[in-house]
Each structure stands twice: as structure tokens, then as C-alpha cells.
Amino acid sequence: MTVVTHSAADVQRRTVSVLAVSQMLGGVGVTTGIAVAALLAEEILGSARLAGLAQTTQVLGAALAAFLLARVMAARGRRIGLALGYGIGGAGAVLCVVAGAVDSFPLLLVGTCAIGAATAANSQARYAATDLAEPSRRARALSVVVWATTIGAVLGPNLTGPGAAVARALGLPELTGPFLFTVVAVALCVTWLLLRLRPDPLLFARELATARGEASMGVVSLRHVYGVLRQHPRAAAAMVAIAVAHAVMVSVMIMTPLHMDHGGAGLEVIGFVVSVHVLGMFAFSPVVGWLADRVGRATVLALGSVVLLAAVVLAGRAPAGDSSGLTLGLFLLGLGWSCCLVASSAILVDAVPLAERPGVQGGSDLVMGLFAAGGGALAGFVVAEWGYGVLNAGAGVLALVVMAAAVAARESEAAEPTP
């Protein structure tokens, strides 16, 4: 067994700072290419009919990769698991460049699916920040890593223009240029993680647990995760909250630009509203994390469900096009999602022992991704058949499900002490 020569507090501080940088780089990598994936698909196909599949496969790839990366992390640690996810994403970006060069739509879908692994790594990093955190500070540690994604999420889509210039200089189709930036960003991210995420937080936490005579490594399988959730209802409630809140956010967010476009809003206005939404998603997460540690995770989760409900009421009642209701609604949609993600992720960590966390966390992100894919696909059908207002009404019902999950988490908290 490795001799423990570091203090947990020192390793935790280093871990959070290293993860913050990796999230910035990874955020650029994830958002830069995906921002133009549908446009590249349309260019290859000559039609927009199937162009949305490029982003759908990315979401599905992220869902499937989440649990696979969790298995790797359980066996080899966070450093190898996160680096592998970003590495697969970088390979996917290369495939997207090749797909654009040879006009191959199937190859593009394989590439965007692989980029989903980088999205999964970007999401799983929030849990790495909690491996060594004190229980009273887990939400804050997690929220700092979520916040760091803001820089990449904002910067990435703005690299579309420079990426097109680079592609032209290399004799490639312009829309492949952003994927070249994805390759560079994730390569830097992988290198940073492999060199700097030492000691590995999960492996170090296991050393400490073993020294205390506690179990430190469990089975990672979907069947086993189901059994753990049956034993820990608070974790099950958190998983439901994460998945449903994410589905609310994704389904409304992806259809809002179309709703605005139908009302005559220009691209600049649509871009501004999306930017406000992203600001709500990430910029205030440290405040959310502080609140979750201070007043309780279940309380902040319940608050997030209320904010989501207010968001869909405002957005659903707003006229198409440019309106203050849509702008405020999308901001609150992002903020409510932030409250739900940070609080419920912290509950998930609190609710299960260290040995079971990688599997449960990977299972949760798998379910979250599948809900996002299903919500996104269903949203288009609902809007086409019944309109944007009905979509928001349905999202409001789901926000009430999140509220119910918050109540369930609170009720089971006293019966399930934090491991």
C-alpha cells in the first residue's frame, strides 16, 4: 500500500485548482466543435432534415461514456478516467474534421458521439472535487469546478470565426475549423490532468479510508448501482432530481432559439439570450454551493425547483421573438438548473459510502444524459404539434417532480447519516 505523505487538505486544495483549469480547457473543447456540428451536418447532407442528429449523438455519447468512465475511475482513479474521456473526445473531433473533408455523414456521427466522452469527463470532474472534501464543504468544492466551466462555455462558441479562418488556411471546409480547436483544447486538457492531478484524489481518499479500516472499493455495474440506490433512498431521490432538472433545462433551452426566430428575432438577439442562459447556468454556482453547505442541500434543491417553475412560466407566457420574458425566463432556467445540479450532486455524494460513489455517480450521469436526449427529441415534437407554451407547461410538471425529489431527500436525510 502507498504510504500517505500528504495531508488531505493540501491535496484537496490542489485537486480543486487543477480541476478548475481542466474545466476551462475542457469546456472550450466540448463547446467549440459542437457549436457548428449541426451546420456541418447540413453542409454534408445538403439538407437540414437530419442535421440535428449530430448533436443528438453527442448527447447519447456523453450518456454512454459516463458509466464507462466511472468504471475506469473506479479501477484506475480520476486522473486516468478523466484523461481517457477527453482523449476519446479529441479523437472524435479528428473524425469530424475528416468527415467534413470527405463529406461523410456517418463518420461525422461517429465523431460527435465520441466527443460525447469529453462532455462526460467534463461533467464527472465535479465529483472528483468531492473525493477529499470535508462533508460540510462538498457542495462548495463541487460548485467551483462547475463554475470554471463558464469560461470554456462562453469562449468556445466564439472561436467559430477564427476556426473557419484556420480551416481555410489549411484547405479544409470552413466548418471543420472549430473541431481543430477542439483537438488542441482537449490535448492540452489531457496533458494537464496527467501531469498535475497527482496525487489522484479518489485513490488518495481510498488510502485514507483503508487506513481507517473502512471499505474503499466497491463493484461497478448497473445492477449493483440499482441495489445501492434501493439501500439509499436519498441517493435515488438525488439521481431523479439531477436527471429531471436536466431534462427541463435542455428541452426548453434547445427550442427557445427556434421560438425566437419564428417571432422575427435576429441572430444577435438570440445569441444574447443564450449567453444570458449560460451565465445563469454557471456563473453563480459558487454562491449556490455555499448556500447548499450553509442551509442544506435539500433546501437549495427545492429552491432550484421553484426557480425552474418560475422560468418555464415566464418563458411559456412570453411572445415569440425578442421579449424580456424570454430573456429573464432563460436566465432563471439556467440558475434553477445550477441549484438543482449542485445540490443534488452533493446529496448523491453524501448519501453513499466512498466505495460506491464512482459507480453511482457514473450511473447518475448516464441517466441524466438519457433524459437529456429524450427531452430534446420530445421537445421538437411537442413544439411542432402543440407549440412552445405547451412545452413549457410540460416542463413545469417536471419541475414539480424535482420538488418532490427534494422533499424525499429531506425526509430520508435523518434516517441516512452522511457516510
The structural domain count of the chain equals 2
CA distance 243 to 220: 20
CATH code (residue 288): 1.20.1250.20
With contact defined as beta carbons under 8 Å apart, do 126 and 140 qualify?
no
3-state class percentages of the chain: helix first, strand second, coil last, to nearest 5:
85, 0, 15
Last residue of a domain, one of 157, 184, 217: 217
Residue 296 main-chain phi, psi, to 5 deg: 115, 140
pLDDT score recorded for residue 158:
76
What is the residue type of 114? A
256 shares its domain with 177? no
Does residue 419 form part of some domain?
no
Residue 348 cell numbers, joined: 448523491
143 shares its domain with 61? yes
pLDDT score recorded for residue 3:
43
259 shares its domain with 318? yes
Burial (CB count within 10 angstroms: exposed 0-12, middle 13-18, buried 19+), residue 282: buried
What is the residue type of 366? L
With contact defined as beta carbons under 8 Å apart, do 237 and 350 qualify?
no
With contact defined as beta carbons under 8 Å apart, do 14 and 134 qualify?
no
227 shares its domain with 102? no
pLDDT score recorded for residue 5:
56
148 shares its domain with 242? no
CA distance 372 to 363: 14
276 shares its domain with 265? yes
Residue 287 cell numbers, joined: 454562491
155 shares its domain with 194? yes
pLDDT score recorded for residue 228:
94
Instruction: Identify the DSSP state of 353.
Output: -
Does residue 399 form part of some domain?
yes
Does residue 258 form part of some domain?
yes
In order of 101, 311, 312, 340, the CA distances from 248 in angstroms are 36, 10, 9, 11
232: left (phi over 0), alpha (psi -120 to 50) or beta: beta
Task: Name residue, grid cell 404539434.
Answer: 385
Does residue 297 form part of some domain?
yes
Last residue of a domain, one of 217, 252, 270: 217
79 shares its domain with 160? yes
Does residue 418 form part of some domain?
no
In order of 238, 290, 301, the CA distances from 410 in angstroms are 10, 18, 10
Q: Enter the pTM of the model.
A: 0.91
CA distance 216 to 221: 16
pLDDT score recorded for residue 76:
95
Does residue 304 form part of some domain?
yes
Residue among 161, 163, 217, 198 at smallest CA distance from 82: 198
- C-alpha R_g of the chain: 21
Residue among 417, 405, 245, 413 at smallest CA distance from 332: 245
222 shares its domain with 209? no
305 shares its domain with 371? yes
Q: Whole domain around residue 389: which residue ranges? A: 218-413
pLDDT score recorded for residue 2:
42
109 shares its domain with 228? no
Does residue 180 form part of some domain?
yes
In order of 71, 127, 277, the CA distances from 283 in angstroms are 31, 19, 10
- CA 50 from centre of chain: 24
CA distance 65 to 88: 10
CA distance 340 to 308: 9
Instruction: Identify the DSSP state of 6.
Output: S
pLDDT tens track, the chain, 419 positions: 444 457 899 999 999 999 999 999 998 888 888 778 878 888 898 876 777 788 789 989 999 999 999 999 999 999 999 999 999 999 999 999 999 999 999 999 999 999 999 999 999 999 999 999 999 999 999 999 999 988 887 787 778 788 889 999 999 999 999 999 999 999 999 999 999 999 999 999 999 999 888 866 777 889 999 999 999 999 999 999 999 999 999 999 888 887 887 888 876 787 788 888 888 999 899 999 999 999 999 999 999 999 999 999 999 999 988 788 899 999 999 999 999 999 999 999 999 999 999 999 999 999 999 998 888 888 888 888 899 999 999 999 999 999 999 999 999 876 665 56
What is the residue type of 348? L
CA distance 159 to 163: 6
Does residue 322 form part of some domain?
yes
81 shares its domain with 111? yes
Compute how many other C-beta atoms are within 10 angstroms of the C-beta atom of residue 181: 22
Q: Three-state DSSP class for 415?
A: coil
Last residue of a domain, one of 152, 184, 217: 217
Instruction: Identify the DSSP state of 4.
Output: P
Instruction: Identify the DSSP state of 319.
Output: P
